[in-house]
């Protein structure tokens, strides 16, 4: 049975974790070159693939003894807090990197491309960019913590899709309205709190 509380919690965490990521910047760049439904189809499929992989990894972690799982979850939350804090501090570099990669991907051979080529491009760019990314680590962590793969998978997927859609349709405007640095700071603090709570749970048994 789906747990709405878990879905909303992981949605919020995935959303703020993905906002400063170069994948969002890549979606923005691709959205300026090709029809947005084509781009979103490929990006959404890539995110779904990564969520399924990460949730499966989290389920494997949940098979470990309870206290060990809580300890690993605590470490991963603290790692996630550090990563998202760092991403927020280097937002200009992340944007430049994402724009450069996307520009290279669309140059030449994708001019005048149809739906399949554009969707494949969106899928490929995101699929490669998300390996070992913060949101992938976070998803595995949440799947291990809550032991509810369906709720976690739905929440994370919707969070990632929402960021992708916002980036494709109006990323520059969004960045002017929402100061990424402060959003990442708040997200980092939340992850530290979750990490401390998991550590206390692991110590207390």
Tally of CA atoms within 13 A in the half-sphere of 12 that contains its CB:
11
Is residue 48 a contact partner of residue 172, using CB atoms and an 8 Å limit? no
Whether the Cβ atoms of residue 23 and residue 130 lie closer than 8 Å to each other: yes
Q: What does the pLDDT read at residue 144?
A: 85
What pLDDT score does 93 carry? 52
Whole-Å CA distances, 122 to 47, 92, 111: 10, 22, 14
Q: Which token pair is 117?
A: 């080529």
Answer yes or no: are the C-beta atoms of 144 and 69 closer than 8 Å: yes
How many beta carbons lie within 10 A of that of residue 64, not counting itself?
A: 13
Q: For residue range 177-201, what is the model confidence (pLDDT) as tens digits?
A: 666 666 667 767 777 877 787 788 7
Crossing angle of helices 22-33 and 91-106, in 10° steps, is 40
Q: Looking at 38-47, 52-61, 112-121, 169-178, which range is the least confident one?
A: 169-178
Task: Kindly state the percentage of the chain with pLDDT values over 90.
Answer: 20
Torsion of CA 121, 159, 86, 78, to 10 degrees: -130
167-180: average pLDDT: 66
Does this model's pTM top 0.85? My answer is no
Confidence of residue 159 (pLDDT cuts 50, 70, 90): very high
In this prediction, residues 49-75 reach a mean pLDDT of 82
- What would the two tokens of residue 147 be? 């032991």
Confidence of residue 54 (pLDDT cuts 50, 70, 90): very high
42/59 Cα distance (integer angstroms): 26
Report domain extents, the chain. Answer: 4-66+90-179
Rounded to a whole number of angstroms, the distance between the first and last alpha carbons of the chain is 27
Instruction: Report the range out of 76-90, 92-106, 154-168 with the highest average pLDDT.
Output: 154-168
């Amino acid at each position: 049975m789906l747990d709405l509380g878990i879905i909303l919690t992981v949605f919020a965490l995935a959303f703020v974790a993905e906002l400063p990521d170069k994948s969002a910047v890549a979606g923005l760049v691709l959205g300026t070159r090709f029809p947005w439904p084509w781009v979103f189809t490929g990006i959404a499929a890539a995110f779904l693939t990564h969520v399924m992989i990460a949730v499966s990894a989290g389920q494997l972690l949940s098979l470990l003894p309870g206290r060990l799982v809580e300890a690993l979850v605590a470490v991963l939350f603290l790692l996630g807090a550090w990563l998202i804090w760092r991403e927020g501090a280097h937002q200009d570099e992340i944007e430049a990197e994402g724009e450069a990669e996307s520009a290279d991907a669309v140059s030449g051979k994708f001019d005048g491309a149809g739906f399949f080529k554009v969707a494949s491009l969106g899928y490929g760019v995101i699929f490669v960019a998300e390996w070992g990314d913060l949101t992938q680590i976070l998803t595995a962590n949440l799947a291990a913590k809550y032991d509810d793969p369906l709720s976690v998978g739905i929440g994370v997927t919707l969070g990632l899709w929402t960021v992708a859609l916002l980036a494709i349709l109006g990323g520059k405007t969004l960045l002017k309205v929402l100061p990424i640095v402060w959003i990442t700071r708040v997200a980092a603090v939340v992850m530290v709190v979750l990490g401390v709570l998991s550590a206390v749970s692991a110590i207390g048994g």
